[in-house]
Amino acid sequence: MLSGPPVTASVTPESLLANFQASSERQRRSQLAGLQRRASELVPLIADHVAALDATGDDWAAGFLIQLLVSADPQRRDQFLERYPDGWLATTSARGIDYAPLQRLLILQDYEQADRLTSEILRQLAGTAATQRGYVYYSEVPPMPPADLDSLDRLWVCFSRGRFGFSVQGRLLNSLAGRWDRLWPRLAWKNGGLWTRYPGSFQWSIDAPEGHMPLVNQLRGVRLMDALLQHPALQRRIKG
C-alpha cells in the first residue's frame, strides 16, 4: 500500500502543494488524480509556489503543477507565460539556441510539435550539413554540446511527469539488457514487427507509453539512437 500523504478535502491547498513536493516519486504519482480534482483551489497558488523551486533541475512535480495551471485557466496561463518569457525551467545552450519555444510547447502539452522542434534542434546541433540534408548522421552526435543535450532532456523529463526524454529511453534500454529489438515495442515505435507510422499512429499525449517521445528515426538502423544515448551528457543523466 502506498504511504504518501492522502489528497483529501480536509487538507488545505497549501498543504497539498507542500506534501506533493516533499513526497517520493511513487507517492507523487498516487496523488495526481486528487490534485487534478482540486485544481480550482490549487491554481491560484501554483505560480508563486513554483517561483520558489529550483529551476535548474528537472523536477517533474513542478512541471506537472505548471501544466495544471495553464490547462485550467486561460487568463492565469497567459499571465504565467508572460511572467516567464524564457520559460520557467532554466536552460543553457552552447550554440545560442533559444529553448523557450520548445518549453512553451511542452508546457502546453503540444507534444507532436515539441517533438518536431526537438528534431529540428538536433539538426542545428549537428551542424549546417545536417540542417540542409534534413537529418542527422550518427557521426555528428559526439561533438554536440553537452549543455544543449542536457537542456533538451531536462525539458522533456520536467514536462512529462518524468515519462519522456532521452534519459528515460536510455534507462529502459538498460532494463532490457541493451536489447534494441525489445526496446522498440516497449516505446511503441514498433508493433507486430512493423514500424509505427509517423505521425498519425504515434500517441502525442501524456498517456503514451513511457519513453514514447522524443522520436528518433530508426529506419537507417540503431546507430543514431545509440550515439545519442552514449553521449556523455545523456549518460550522466541515464545513470542519475
Q: Are 117 and 106 in contact (CB under 8 A)?
A: no
Longest dimension (CA), the chain: 59
Contacts of 239 (CB under 8 A, 6+ apart): none
Q: Structure pTM?
A: 0.95
Termini Cα distance of the chain: 27
Partners of residue 188 on adjacent β-strands: none
Average pLDDT score over residue span 108-120: 99
Rounded Cα–Cα distance for residues 60 and 47 (Å): 15
The 10 Å Cβ neighbour count of residue 83 is 10
Average pLDDT score over residue span 155-178: 99
Enumerate the domain spans of the chain: 13-83, 100-239
Query: Mapped to the 3 state alphabet, what secondary structure does 96-143 carry?
Result: CCCCHHHHHHHHCCCHHHHHHHHHHHHHHHHCHHHHHHCCCCHHHCCC
CATH 1.10.10.1770, applies to 100-239: yes
Q: pLDDT tens for residues 49-100?
A: 999 999 999 999 999 999 999 999 899 999 999 999 999 999 999 999 999 9
Reduced to 3 states, what is the DSSP secondary structure of residue 120? Answer: helix
Q: Which helix (H) or strand (E) holds 136?
A: none
Which amino acid is present at 21? Q
DSSP notation for 163-207: --SHHHHHHHHHHTTT-HHHHHHHHTSEETTEEPPTTTTS--STT
pLDDT at 220 over 80: no
Contacts of 81 (CB under 8 A, 6+ apart): 70, 104, 107
